[in-house]
């Protein structure tokens, strides 16, 4: 039984981290109706830019290598890069494509993926980097002592950071003026425009926020897996979360993440051995698929009514 | 119509592709590199080392016995279709056409496998590709040189046996094989099973789905099984994730033995301190303390002609593996020159003969400045593998440390399996194996 | 002036309903077919046949398959490569396990396997739409590749997990030269392209388009959604399956299941979006564009800047330009390159008096 809970809790913690990546998709889809395929590339770009800055900053400024000053300066610079990237995307790629069918916008973000990947590796090189956030990846001792369960300290802290981020974003959406404008845009672009909400600014903000989320996701996943091209694959973990939770729902992303994370792990441990293992490539997708058959709009997705 | 359009574009491509090469004796080598995409870290290191070695030989000796080396890069992005295009594009390069093709990608290897025999270009796959191609009778044009996955798998068991204090001590032990869930990852399962039976240990196979950036469940299973050793057959991001997750679940890293695609700096650095003590096999070693690397630094980097942007990667495992590719390829050219003469460019067919009659002895390695850098190598018509030896290295947190001498593989076990598999391929394809006694 | 329909009278329903109602189109198609069957073999060298034309044709067929599903029936799919894999492995197993089966029969049977699998994974489309469906088709992508890797039976227990295409023999002639492979591929692709062209203008195609434009409305006018959608999935997967088999037999020779990965699925999706969603011609243009552009960039980079900038930068620059070009073409012509051809036809019709 201990083992079951160990797997379950580990899965839930990973699930929060999947949700973190999914959140970037949700933000952009909600506000602009774009399925942003480049989200994975943005996670990679953000993490690589951060690590790149931590490498070059000591040389430029004479700050102590590995110090917290370098960390925060690099964080700010990487965030700036992400915001610039977001605004440039909005201006150069999306604005000329307003009112095009969703698939065209989707395709444009795939083109963007190549661009971002090329820029990232062209600027900072292809080498694989380690990234330490100063959090030990070791079992939480008192859980190990008391319940004999191994729960990673890193995952607990990372999940906590992600949850704080979720709460902050939810508050931003719910209680601020910008948030209201965001929700208005999400509901209906034209109606929002007609009451005087500047669509362009809103989109730029959303892409900026998505860049911020990508940076946080990039740092956490980068610390887990190393800062390398494979960070773009985190998007593949986020996609089943998205269909399960709905493309437009932030709580859906969290709950979807928890469900996917837990069931993926439990599936691999308890069903996997009977099927030869390695099923976690498709298991979350199948699960999400089966769920959608029952509830096509996902957990919290908006119910879509077709009018003829 | 669309085809006219594509044809016009094509004409432009073709026009650009035909670039003149000087008629002087130059040995043309086509390099299907990958410098972008998911495997760019590997590609830049491997091809960087290889190119640097060739530059060094050109600079220091003016080529191989005066035969200058020229090469051309073609970006494959590690993609099969792009790889085939590169192969076809470079086929007619230089004065003789491409003379050796080493894609450094299993997928591209398979994609050109059928083509090389027709085009008479040797396909060299060092440490990857088709294991059964070691049977040179069925695969005259394919060279999985130095060691194959099967050979190294037996060498790993030998290493584990050594650590346990003798092969008989393996009885009753438990080994978990964590593998990348792909054709590549599954390849050693039959060998491990056969050895488990032979030595009486238990082996449990646990698959990790691609890309393997999340392995909590697999390692919790490892923890439950409580194995004595773990064999890691990983690829890409799966490696650091595995090592890190092992650290997190408390499995001792010095009981994990990785394949060479799990044993580069790129695989351990992201895992941080958790990687300390981790062991991996390799048919080349890391480090810059070899005369051959020193020569590269002297003749190439001192003159600012190096291929690596990040000079700190010179001497890394993958870079040195690229140098091994350079050494072996050039030795094959040298061998071919003993039969076909120096002073003119060799054809693919002639270079193939060179690969088939390689004999890189310890003395020769010493001359090359590569003693202990790669194992001695001797190929024949029957045996396209030539060595099967690997060394084991341990990560001390900052660099790889060699902890064994060359460990031999169990050819008595592997060879019949290779021959059986090759015979099956021959039957499927309708190939009549060569008679090696008639080969010269 | 060059493309006038004036004076072409349709005197019977038969004439009105022919596959290419405009004479210039008929001439163009015949000319193109003649060109590719007779002229190209004379002028193209091995490189062009083996490395460019054959893959472009095969990818065109796969793109055509996806275009039927996405462009005509409006169901977004990201699993095309998996259906190609089913076709390739299916054909391989028919060739292997049934002695003396003709290649073309095995090819069609392989395609049918893909069609069956396609129907299975098409079932969710009855309830799920848009990007939800697209992500759901990823289940097919990962599951099929997993099955092909996991169960050795599919690759005849090959230790390397790969399948090796057998020799292809039709009526005693062995197809092993690049030219013969090109011609066989071309023949198959032409037949299937004409079939597709015929299909999309028939009742079948009109049903698909009705479902694409609004499925509730289509249902109201009496189109059975389930049958229509599944039919689109089946036919689309069949095309992809045949393309996959050609990919294995006419192009690569030896393939591993991982060769049919998600990247390939995306590539085929690029082809139809760049070429033109809902356009047969667009599938060909898109395939040619996506196959040729990176090659062209690579060659151009080597002959221009390659000497002066480090190889790593050059390679990344190619990728950046490739991505930039995709975005550029989408902005310039969101309906795909096929639309440019349409516009050109309009221009030709009224030239030289545009008003």
Instruction: Spell out the domain ranges in chain A.
Output: 2-294
B contacts of C337 (beta carbons < 8 Å): 2
| Contact between chains at B111 and C55 (C-beta distance less than 8 A) | no
Q: Do domains B23-147+287-378 and B149-282+391-412 have the same CATH topology?
A: yes
Establish, for the pair of chains A and B, how many residue pairs have beta carbons separated by less than 8 Å: 133
Q: Which of B209, B240, B249 sits opposite A225 (nearest CB)?
A: B240
In tens, the pLDDT along B331-356 reads 999 999 999 988 889 999 999 999 99
The pair of three-digit structure tokens given for residue A301, joined into one six-digit string: 């997705």
Chains that touch C (3 or more CB pairs under 8 A): A, B
Q: Which of A81, A104, A86 is nearest to A33 (CA)?
A: A104
Whether B120 has its CB under 8 Å from any CB of chain C: the answer is no
Smallest Cα distance from B340 to chain A, Å: 41
Q: What is the ipTM of this complex?
A: 0.89
Option in C156, C292, C298 nearest B10 (CB): C292
pLDDT of residue A251: 86
Q: B237 and A230: CB-CB below 8 Å?
A: yes
Is the pLDDT reported for residue C107 higher than 90?
yes
* Region of A15 on the Ramachandran plot (φ > 0 left; ψ -120 to 50 alpha; else beta): alpha
CA-based nearest distance B183→chain C, Å:
5
Question: Are C315 and B92 within 8 A, CB to CB?
Answer: no
pLDDT confidence tier of residue B1, bands split at 50, 70 and 90:
very low
Confidence of residue B7 (pLDDT cuts 50, 70, 90): very low
How many other CB atoms sit within 10 Å of the CB of residue C226?
Answer: 12
User: Measured between CB atoms, which of A139, A229, A278 is closest to B40?
Assistant: A229
Closest approach of chain A CAs to the CA of B250, in angstroms? Answer: 8
**Chain B residues touching residue A224 (CB < 8 angstroms):** 213, 241, 244
Q: Is the pLDDT confidence value at A308 over 80?
A: no
Q: Closest Cα of chain B to C113: distance in Å?
A: 22
What is the token pair recorded at C214? 């609004």
Residues 257-296 of C with CB under 8 A from A: 262, 266, 269-270, 273-274, 277
Q: Give the predicted TM-score (pTM) of the model.
A: 0.91
Distance between B23 CA and the closest CA of chain C, angstroms: 19
How confident is the model at residue B8, as a pLDDT?
Answer: 43
| Residue A285 to chain B, least CA–CA distance (Å) | 13
Model confidence over C55-79: pLDDT tens digits? Answer: 999 999 999 999 999 999 999 899 9
Tens-digit pLDDT profile for residues B59-103 = 999 999 989 999 999 999 888 889 999 999 998 888 888 999 999
With CB atoms and an 8 Å threshold, state whether A97 touches C76.
no
Q: How many CB pairs under 8 A join B and C?
A: 169
The burial class, CB within 10 Å (0-12 / 13-18 / 19+), for B363 is exposed
- Residue A219 corresponds to which tokens in the numbers above? 């740092």
The pLDDT value given to residue A161? 92
The 3-class SS string of chain C reads CCCCCCCCCCCCHHHHCCCCCCHHHHHHHHHHHHHHHHHHHHHCCHHHHHHHHHHHHHHHHHHHHHHHHHHHCCCCCCCHHHHHHHHHHHHHHHHHHCCCCCHHHHHHHHHHHHHHHHHHHHHHHHCCCHHHHHHHHHHHHHHHHHHHHHCHHHHCCCCCCCEECCCCEECCEECCCHHHHHHHHHHHHHHHHHHHHHHHCCHHHHHHHHHHHCHHHHHHCCCCHHHHHHHHHHHHHHHHHHHHHHHHHHHHCEECHHHCCHHHHHHHHHHHHHHCCCCHHHHHHHHHHHHHHHHHHHHHHHHCHHHCCCHHHHHHHHHHHHHHHHHHHHHHCCCCHHHHHHHHHHHHHHCCCCC
> Best residue in C222, C297, C323 to probe A by mutation, most A CBs within 10 Å?
C323
Would you tell me how many other CB atoms lie within 10 Å of the CB of residue A27?
Answer: 29
Residues of B in contact with C162 (CB under 8 A): 110, 130, 183
Q: Is A68 left (phi over 0), alpha (psi -120 to 50) or beta?
A: alpha
CA torsion angle C87 C91 C94 C100 (round to 10): 160
The closest of B386, B389, B330, B323 to B357, measured between CA atoms, is: B386
pLDDT tens string A110-149 = 899 999 999 999 999 888 888 888 887 778 877 878 888 8
Domain ranges of chain B: 23-147+287-378, 149-282+391-412
Q: A225 to chain B: nearest residue by CA? A: B241
8 Å CB contact of A150 and B220:
yes
Pair C98, A73: CB distance under 8 Å: no
Q: What is the pLDDT of residues B195-253, one digit of tens each?
A: 999 999 999 999 998 888 889 889 988 988 899 999 999 988 899 999 999 988 889 99
> Is A275 or B32 the better-scoring residue by pLDDT?
B32
Tell me, what's the pLDDT at C355? 64
Confirm if A97 and C334 have CB atoms less than 8 A apart. yes
Query: How many CB pairs (< 8 A) connect A and C?
Result: 137
List the 116-135 stretch of A: residues with Cβ below 8 A of C. Answer: 116-119, 121-122, 125-126
What's the angle, vertex CA B77, arms to CA C311 and CA B72, rounded to 5?
A: 45
Residue B221 CA to residue B246 CA, distance in Å, equals: 11
Pick among B45, B183, B188, B419 to test the C interface (most C CBs inside 10 A): B183
3-state secondary structure of B26: strand
Integer Cα distance of A86 and A80 in angstroms: 10
CATH homologous superfamily of B149-282+391-412? Response regulator (3.40.50.2300)
Contacts of C337 in chain A (CB under 8 A): none
CB spacing of C254 vs B92 below 8 angstroms: no
* C200-222 per-position pLDDT tens digit: 989 999 999 999 998 889 999 99
Chain B residues within 8 A of A130 when measuring between CB atoms: 269-272
Cβ atoms of C279 and C67 closer than 8 Å: yes
Task: Give residue A154's Cα distance to chain centre.
Answer: 18
Nearest CA among A132, A130, A120 for reference residue A38? A120
Q: Three-state SS for B279?
A: strand
Residues of C in contact with A260 (CB under 8 A): none
Residue with tokens 């996405």: C70
Sign of the Cα torsion A283, A288, A292, A294 reads: positive
pLDDT at B440: 58
Residue whose token pair is 């909600």: A30
Q: Is the peptide bond before B211 cis (omega within 30 degrees of 0)?
A: yes
Query: What per-residue confidence (pLDDT) applies to B92?
Result: 86
Taking CA atoms, what residue in C is nearest to B93?
C47
The answer to whether A248 faces chain C, any CB pair under 8 Å, is no
Q: pLDDT for A180-213, tens place per residue?
A: 888 888 777 788 888 988 888 888 888 888 999 9
Q: What is the CATH number of domain B23-147+287-378?
A: 3.40.50.2300
**Structure confidence at residue A67 (pLDDT):** 78
pLDDT tens digits along B395-423: 998 899 999 999 999 999 999 999 999 99
Question: What integer pLDDT is reported at residue A143 of this predicted model?
Answer: 80
Q: B331 with B356: CB under 8 angstroms?
A: no
| Geometric angle at alpha carbon A102, from A101 and A104, rounded to 5° | 70
Q: Burial level of B14, CB count in 10 A (0-12/13-18/19+)?
A: middle
> Is the per-residue pLDDT at A306 higher than 70?
no
At residue C37, the pLDDT reads 92
Contacts of C52 in chain B (CB under 8 A): 10, 85
For residue B211, which residues of chain A lie inside 8 Å, CB to CB?
230, 233, 236
Contact B12/C at CB under 8 A: yes
pLDDT tens-digit readout, A25-60: 998 888 878 888 899 999 999 999 999 999 888 888
Kind and range of the H or E run holding B70: strand B68-73
Tell whether B302 lies on the interface with C, counting CB pairs under 8 A: no
Determine phi and psi for B181, rounding to 5 degrees.
-80, 80
Assess contact for B68 and B345: CB atoms under 8 A.
no
**CB of C153 within 8 Å of any CB in chain A?**
no
CA dist C236 and C65 (Å) reads 4
Q: What is the pLDDT of residue B16?
A: 41
- Residue C52 and residue B186: Cβ atoms within 8 Å? no
Contact B186 C161 (CB under 8 A): yes
So what's the pLDDT on residue B14? 43
The predicted model gives B378-385 an average pLDDT of: 91
Per-residue tokens: C78: 């990201």
CB contact under 8 A, B248 and A132: no
Contacting A residues, span 169-198, partner chain B, CB-CB under 8 Å: none
Residue in B12, B92, B115 closest to C296 by CB? B12
Contacts of B8 in chain C (CB under 8 A): none
B18 close contact with C: CB closer than 8 A? no
**pLDDT classification of B12: cutoffs 50, 70, 90:** very low
Are B42 and B317 spatial neighbours (Cβ–Cβ below 8 Å)?
no
Residue bearing the bigger pLDDT, B13 or C227: C227
Q: What is the pLDDT of residue C249?
A: 93
pLDDT tens profile C284-315: 999 999 999 999 998 888 887 767 788 888 88
Q: For position B9, what pLDDT does the model report?
A: 42
Bridge partners (DSSP) listed for residue B400: B395
Predicted local confidence at residue C22, as pLDDT: 80
The answer to whether C48 touches C292, Cβ cutoff 8 Å, is: no
Angle between helix C203-213 and C178-200 (nearest 10): 70
Q: Using beta carbons and an 8 Å cutoff, which residues of B are at the interface with A?
A: 35-41, 43-44, 181, 205-211, 213-214, 216-218, 220-221, 223-224, 236-237, 240-241, 244, 247-250, 265-266, 269-272, 274, 309-310, 313
Of A243, A285, A293, the CB nearest to C142: A285
Q: Could you say which of C138, C220, C312 has the minimum Cβ distance to residue A125?
A: C312
């Amino acid at each position: 039984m201990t083992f079951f809970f160990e797997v379950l809790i580990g899965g839930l913690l990973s699930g929060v981290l999947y949700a973190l990546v999914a959140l970037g998709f949700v933000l952009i889809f909600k506000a602009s109706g774009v399925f942003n395929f480049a989200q994975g590339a943005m996670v990679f770009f953000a993490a690589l830019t951060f690590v790149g800055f931590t490498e070059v900053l000591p040389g430029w400024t004479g700050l102590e290598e590995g110090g917290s000053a370098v960390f925060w300066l690099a964080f700010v610079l990487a965030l700036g890069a992400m915001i610039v990237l977001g605004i440039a995307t909005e201006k150069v790629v999306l604005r000329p494509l307003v009112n095009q069918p969703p698939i065209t916008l989707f395709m444009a973000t795939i083109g963007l993926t190549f661009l971002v990947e090329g820029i990232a590796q062209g600027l900072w090189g292809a080498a694989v980097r380690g990234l330490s956030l100063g959090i030990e990846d070791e079992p939480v001792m008192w859980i190990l002592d008391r319940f004999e369960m191994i729960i990673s300290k890193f995952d607990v802290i990372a999940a906590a950071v992600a949850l704080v981020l979720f709460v902050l974003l939810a508050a931003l959406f719910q209680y601020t003026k910008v948030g209201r404008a965001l929700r208005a845009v999400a509901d209906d672009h034209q109606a929002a425009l007609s009451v005087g909400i500047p669509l362009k600014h809103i989109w730029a903000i959303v892409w900026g926020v998505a860049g911020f989320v990508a940076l946080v996701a990039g740092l956490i996943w980068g610390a887990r897996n190393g800062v390398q091209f494979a960070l773009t694959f985190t998007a593949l973990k986020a996609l089943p979360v998205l269909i399960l939770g709905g493309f437009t729902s932030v709580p859906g992303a969290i709950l979807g993440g928890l469900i996917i994370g837990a069931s993926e792990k439990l599936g691999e441990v308890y069903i996997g051995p009977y099927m030869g293992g390695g099923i976690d490539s498709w298991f979350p997708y199948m699960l999400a698929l089966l769920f959608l058959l029952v509830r096509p709009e996902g957990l919290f997705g908006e119910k879509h009514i077709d009018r003829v | 119509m669309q085809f006219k359009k594509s044809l016009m574009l094509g004409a432009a491509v073709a026009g650009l592709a035909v670039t003149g090469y000087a008629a002087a004796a130059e040995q043309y080598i086509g390099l299907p590199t990958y410098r972008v995409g998911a495997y760019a870290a590997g590609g830049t290191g491997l091809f960087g080392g290889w190119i640097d070695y060739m530059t060094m030989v050109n600079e220091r000796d003016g080529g191989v016995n005066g035969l200058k080396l020229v090469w051309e890069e073609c970006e494959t992005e590690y993609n099969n279709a792009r790889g085939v295009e590169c192969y076809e594009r470079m086929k007619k390069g230089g004065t003789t056409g491409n003379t050796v093709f080493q894609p450094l990608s299993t997928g591209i290897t398979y994609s050109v496998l059928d083509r090389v025999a027709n085009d008479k270009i040797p396909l060299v796959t060092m440490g990857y590709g088709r294991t059964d191609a070691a049977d040179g009778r069925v695969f005259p044009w394919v060279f999985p040189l130095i060691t194959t996955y099967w050979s190294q798998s037996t060498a790993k068991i030998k290493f584990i046996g050594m650590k346990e204090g003798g092969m008989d001590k393996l009885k009753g032990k438990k080994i978990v094989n964590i593998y990348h869930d792909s054709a590549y990852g599954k390849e050693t399962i039959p060998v491990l099973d056969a050895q488990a039976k032979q030595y009486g240990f238990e082996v449990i196979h646990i698959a990790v789905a691609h890309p393997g950036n999340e392995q909590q469940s697999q390692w919790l299973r490892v923890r439950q099984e409580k194995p004595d050793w773990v064999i890691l057959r990983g690829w890409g991001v799966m490696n650091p994730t595995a090592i890190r997750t092992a650290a997190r679940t408390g499995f001792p890293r010095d009981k994990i033995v990785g394949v060479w695609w799990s044993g580069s700096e790129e695989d351990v650095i992201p895992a941080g301190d958790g990687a300390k003590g981790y062991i991996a096999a390799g048919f080349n070693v890391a480090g810059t303390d070899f005369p051959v690397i020193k020569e590269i630094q002297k003749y190439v980097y001192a003159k600012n002609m190096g291929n690596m942007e990040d000079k700190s990667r010179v001497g890394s495992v993958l870079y040195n593996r690229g140098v091994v590719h350079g050494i072996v390829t050039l030795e094959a050219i040298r061998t071919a020159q003993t039969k076909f003469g120096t002073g003119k460019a060799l054809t693919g067919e002639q270079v193939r003969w060179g690969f088939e009659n390689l004999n890189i002895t310890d003395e020769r390695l010493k001359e090359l400045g590569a003693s202990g850098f790669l194992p001695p190598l001797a190929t024949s018509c029957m045996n396209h593998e030539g060595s099967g030896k690997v060394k084991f290295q341990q990560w001390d947190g900052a660099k790889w440390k060699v902890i064994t001498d060359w460990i031999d593989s169990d050819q008595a076990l592997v060879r019949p399996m290779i021959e059986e598999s090759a015979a099956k391929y021959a039957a499927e394809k309708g190939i009549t194996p060569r008679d090696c006694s008639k080969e010269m | 002036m060059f493309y006038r329909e004036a004076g072409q009278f349709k005197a019977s329903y038969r004439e009105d309903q022919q596959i290419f109602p405009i004479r210039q189109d008929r001439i163009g198609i015949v000319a193109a077919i003649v060109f590719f069957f007779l002229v190209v073999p004379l002028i193209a060298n091995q490189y062009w046949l083996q490395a460019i034309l054959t893959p472009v044709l095969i990818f065109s067929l796969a793109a055509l398959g996806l275009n039927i599903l996405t462009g005509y029936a409006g169901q977004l799919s990201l699993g095309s490569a998996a259906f190609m894999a089913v076709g390739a492995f299916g054909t391989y197993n028919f060739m292997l396990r049934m002695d003396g089966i003709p290649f073309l029969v095995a090819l069609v049977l392989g395609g049918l396997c893909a069609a069956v699998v396609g129907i299975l994974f098409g079932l969710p489309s009855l309830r799920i739409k848009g990007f939800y469906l697209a992500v759901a088709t990823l289940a097919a992508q990962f599951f099929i590749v997993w099955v092909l890797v996991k169960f050795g039976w599919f690759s005849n227990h090959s230790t390397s997990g790969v399948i090796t295409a057998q020799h292809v023999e039709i009526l005693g002639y062995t197809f092993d030269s690049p030219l013969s492979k090109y011609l066989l591929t071309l023949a198959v692709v032409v037949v299937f392209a004409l079939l597709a062209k015929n299909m999309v203008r028939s009742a079948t195609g009109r049903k698909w388009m009705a479902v694409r434009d609004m499925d509730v409305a289509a249902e109201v006018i009496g189109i059975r959604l389930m049958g229509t959608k599944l039919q689109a999935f089946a036919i689309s997967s069949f095309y992809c399956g045949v393309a996959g088999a050609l990919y294995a037999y006419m192009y690569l020779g030896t393939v591993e299941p991982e060769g049919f990965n998600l990247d390939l699925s995306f590539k085929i999706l690029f082809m139809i979006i760049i070429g033109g969603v809902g356009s047969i011609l667009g599938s060909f243009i898109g395939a040619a564009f996506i196959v040729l552009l990176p090659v062209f960039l690579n060659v151009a980079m080597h002959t221009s800047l390659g000497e002066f900038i480090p190889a790593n930068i050059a390679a990344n620059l190619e990728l950046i330009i490739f991505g930039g070009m995709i975005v550029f073409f989408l902005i310039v012509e969101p309906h795909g390159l096929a639309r440019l051809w349409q516009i050109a036809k309009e221009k030709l019709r009224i030239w030289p008096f545009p008003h």
